[in-house]
Amino acid sequence: MVLFRSVSALSKLRSRVVRQPSLNSTVRWLQIQTSSDLDLQSQLRELIPEQQERLKKLKTEHGKVQLGNITVDMVLGGMRGMTGLLWETSLLDADEGIRFRGLSIPECQKVLPTAKPEGEPLPEGLLWLLLTGKVPSKDQVDALSKELRDRATVPDHVYRAIDALPITAHPMTQFSTGVMALQVQSEFQKAYEKGIHKSKYWEPTYEDSMNLISRLPLVASYIYRRIYKDGNVIPVDNALDYGANFSHMLGFDDPKMHELMRLYVTIHTDHEGGNVSAHTGHLVASALSDPYLSFAAALNGLAGPLHGLANQEVLLWIKSVVDECGENVSTEQLKEYVWKTLKSGKVVPGYGHGVLRQTDPRYTCQREFALKHLPDDPLFQLVSKLYEVVPPILTELGKVKNPWPNVDAHSGVLLNHFGLTEARYYTVLFGVSRAIGICSQLVWDRALGLPLERPKSVTMEWLENFCKKANA
């Protein structure tokens, strides 16, 4: 697990160590912060100089170490598998799944503060963890919740910009437009135009990032209410945390839906830096574009059906199964429908992943939520049957490296159960969540002074000539 150990920080922090079993039954030692310091930015001021020195030492002493060989398949296959980005906030293992600053999803569920006993982790706690590498206390998370609420003010021009679009525009189009309209308040842009020193770039980036994260639920819920609820907007409830408030502004006040939104936002925040949305945000930001411009670009990548739009496609496909076969579909009927989908040249949405080679832990924790709160839901039972039927078929097909379900295979059914049935909107939920991971890393991009991203591209002729020489 990656932990920051700063002499200056440790002199101010009292820490206790907790023994925590991991999924593979080994022992992990988690440092849980018990400092009374409730300000997140002050934590970063202590951590950043140490990490700057760490990066400098790494580059000086090991900059020439080779990380692997690039093959033609990688070049032609979308750079898949190339190790080429520094991404501190999370790491993805093909078999184990995502770890946030070294913590697996089950570990985050156990150690991050919750709104109620045995509840789901608060997204604010994961934001603190991603930015600092430390597990926050409940008081620190409560203070961060309040800070985000205090920052959550959206200018009227943002809503006017959204209203200028047809109500039929896809929710992601409206969401991206709203983020671009927020950009006129960018603190980074203002500071850069005034001539801020590059060593201070992270400070206005932090301000922009926190403002953006705080305001996204307001913009996203406005779009939902505009499209689906006749424009009847629900204001912020200052007594609620980030996830519950988002659910409330959408119009869902069932305590179980609040818990689901806390879980949903937490597990969708980050997935290392190579996925389309995260990589796009990092790439655009490397040109010193501010967080609003960078995140708007990330959203446009997330809107693609091979990325975030897949959660929309999953529920629509599941409902098509019900329409054709009924809710009490048999295993044999389900197998036939899966084969019918594959033979028509389509994929089974929600299955397979570009990196993972096992069941996505984000799928597993959502399944556990469903078993706890909605075990008799017909669509959940159908999802459970798919879990038994689809992997063997994809394995038999022989073309799929990972036949197991990913995060998108489950989220839509949970949302649908609690009344959020509008599948076209689901990717917006994903976008609100993903801002936490992208912006956390962007703060560190600026703090570490990471350079403009500029990979080398080649032509097919270059590759052909290179291969001829290599094989001569």
As a whole number of Å, the CA-based R_g of the chain is 23
d(CA 427, CA 299): 9
Q: Answer for the pair 4, 15: CB distance below 8 angstroms, yes or no.
A: no
Residue 390: what residue type?
Answer: V
Nearest-CA neighbor of 9 among 58, 54, 44, 39? 44
* Domain 71-307+428-471 and domain 310-418 have a common topology: no
Considering the candidates 258, 271, 307, 417, report the single residue annotated as catalytic: 307
Burial class (CB in 10 A: 0-12, 13-18, 19+), 376: exposed
Distance separating the N- and C-terminal Cα atoms of the chain: 46
Domain map of the chain by residue range?
71-307+428-471, 310-418
Can you give the pLDDT at residue 399? 66
Q: Answer for the pair 238, 149: CB distance below 8 angstroms, yes or no.
A: yes
Q: What phi and psi, each to the nearest 5 degrees, are found at residue 374?
A: -145, 55
Burial class (CB in 10 A: 0-12, 13-18, 19+), 435: buried
Q: Which residues are bridge partners to 16 per DSSP?
A: 32
Q: Find the length of the chain.
A: 472
Can 62 be counted among the known catalytic residues?
A: no
Q: What is the CATH number of domain 71-307+428-471?
A: 1.10.580.10
Can you give the pLDDT at residue 356? 61
What is the layout of strands, in order, in the sheet containing 97-100? 90-93, 97-100, 103-104
State the DSSP H helix or E strand holding residue 92, giving kind and residue range, or none if neither: strand 90-93
DSSP string, 227-265: HHSTT------TTS-HHHHHHHHHT---HHHHHHHHHHH
Tokens 């679009």, residue located: 165
| Beta-strand pair 27-33/90-93 | unpaired
Nearest-CA neighbor of 363 among 379, 376, 378, 351? 351
Can you give the pLDDT at residue 472? 81
Considering the candidates 142, 241, 270, 408, report the single residue annotated as catalytic: 408
Can 353 be counted among the known catalytic residues?
A: yes
78: left (phi over 0), alpha (psi -120 to 50) or beta: left
119, two tokens: 């509840």
Q: How many CA atoms lie within 13 A of 345 on its CB side?
A: 0
Q: Is the Cα torsion angle 150, 151, 155, 159 positive or negative in sign?
A: negative
Q: Answer for the pair 444, 47: CB distance below 8 angstroms, yes or no.
A: no
CA distances for 101 relative to 30, 44, 130, 223, angstroms: 11, 15, 6, 33
CATH classification (class only), 310-418: mainly alpha
Nearest-CA neighbor of 440 among 295, 247, 327, 330? 295
d(CA 374, CA 417): 8
Can 408 be counted among the known catalytic residues?
A: yes
d(CA 357, CA 96): 9
Q: Which residues are bridge partners to 103 per DSSP?
A: 100
d(CA 69, CA 34): 44
Q: State whether residue 405 is helix, strand or coil.
A: strand
Residue 376: what residue type?
Answer: D
Can you give the pLDDT at residue 35? 53
Considering the candidates 353, 410, 417, 445, report the single residue annotated as catalytic: 353
- Tens digit of pLDDT per residue, the chain (472 long)? 444 333 333 333 333 333 333 434 333 444 445 455 789 999 999 999 999 999 999 999 999 998 888 889 888 888 888 888 999 999 988 778 899 999 999 999 999 999 999 999 999 999 999 999 999 999 999 999 999 999 999 999 999 999 999 999 999 999 999 999 999 999 999 999 999 999 999 999 999 999 999 999 999 999 999 999 999 999 999 999 999 999 999 999 999 999 999 999 999 999 999 999 999 999 999 999 999 999 999 999 999 988 777 778 888 888 898 888 887 888 898 899 999 988 898 888 888 766 667 788 898 999 999 999 999 999 999 999 998 898 888 888 876 677 888 888 889 999 999 999 999 999 999 999 999 999 999 999 999 999 999 999 999 999 999 999 988 8
Dihedral, 170, 176, 178, 181 alpha carbons, nearest 10: -140
Tell me which DSSP letter residue 32 carries: E
260: left (phi over 0), alpha (psi -120 to 50) or beta: alpha
Dihedral, 457, 357, 435, 130 alpha carbons, nearest 10: -110
Tell me which DSSP letter residue 136 carries: P
